[in-house]
Amino acid sequence: MRRALEFQVELLDEAAAPPFMPERYAEGVSRICKQRGAANLPPPRATPHVPRVLIIAGSDSGGGAGIQADIKACEAMGVYSMTAVSALTAQNTLGVQGVHAAPCEFLSLQIRSCLDDIGCDVIKTGMISSRMSVDSVMAAAGRPGLYTWVVDPVMISTSGHTLVDLDTVDAIRSNIFPLAHIITPNLPEASLLLGRKIGTKGQMEEACVDLAAMGPKYVLVKGGHSERSGLQDAWDVLYDSVSKTYHRFPAHMIESRNTHGTGCTLASAIAANLAKGMKTVEAVGVAKQYVWDALKCASRLSIGCGHGPLHHAFKNADWRIPPNRLLASDCANASDVFCDRKKIDLSVYAVTDEVRCTNRQCR
């Protein structure tokens, strides 16, 4: 432990050397590993492969979105998650009260600390607030072909406010998109990226093709905002740029104010499923089912005074209304006060590409 602390101090002292020194870092990690080996420590036992997701995103102090939602989604899907915090926010269900961006050097250090020791199968990105932060992510992990990237381009808030400037949008589009296995913009973000309004199903399909031209293999344009665009259901459209095929994922709208963190949760659930070995279409389908269930189970909850979070732990937590607090209108549907849907253990739903669910509720 003392050697590790000394090495950490040494790294922080040299952090000012722009932009980052991966070779120096690798040398230090190699030295520590050799020292551990020289101590005659017993070899590690053979263990199963643990699916790993590294999340690069902002922190939500209210716990509904951002890295907090990402961790909850990965845990629900049965995957180990790590984090590199790009920004700290002071926020709750009513809105964002403050933002503090992480220093770029420290953002890089968080990423390298995770990758050099634990490694990862999938990198999932959320809010990256500046061009300099994008450059830091690229310096620490932007080597093509090493990792599977799930990119959630968090650019516009639920209320419609732009969260990043156009320079950052251009940096994400030109640097991170070419690395991406899949990107997951919602309708406002797709509109911002392409410079035109996206609303109808036909426009969503055209947007998929144009966004795929920026580099990602798959594009998932999410229709959760489609109620404002005249669509009756929430259609998500997935486009495979290699086979030039579309996959459509319709779902009925759920009336609920508890929708905070849906985009973060969906992207992280997709990342978790990819880390477990699912093929992309299956990973998206299972993730969408999980988000829909979490939305439904959250629709009767009251967390905060504004837009509350999803119920990420609906498979485990039984938050029922005590009988002495049930209203007369609730009694007829008492079995649905929490969420009476038969639970599906999605964490073991698919371990390899070949596994298929035979339960009709999974389809």
Sign of the dihedral defined by the CA atoms of residues 120, 277, 72, 165, in that order: positive
- What is the Cα–Cα distance from 77 to 355, expressed in whole angstroms? 15
Candidates 81, 14, 33; CA nearest to 53 is 81
- Exposure string over 34-49, b if 16+ CB within 10 A, otherwise e: eeeeeeeeeeeeeeee
* Nearest of 126, 55, 62, 78 to residue 258 by alpha carbon: 62
What positions carry a catalytic annotation?
A: 222, 259, 261-264
Residue pair 204/235 in contact (Cβ under 8 Å)? The answer is yes
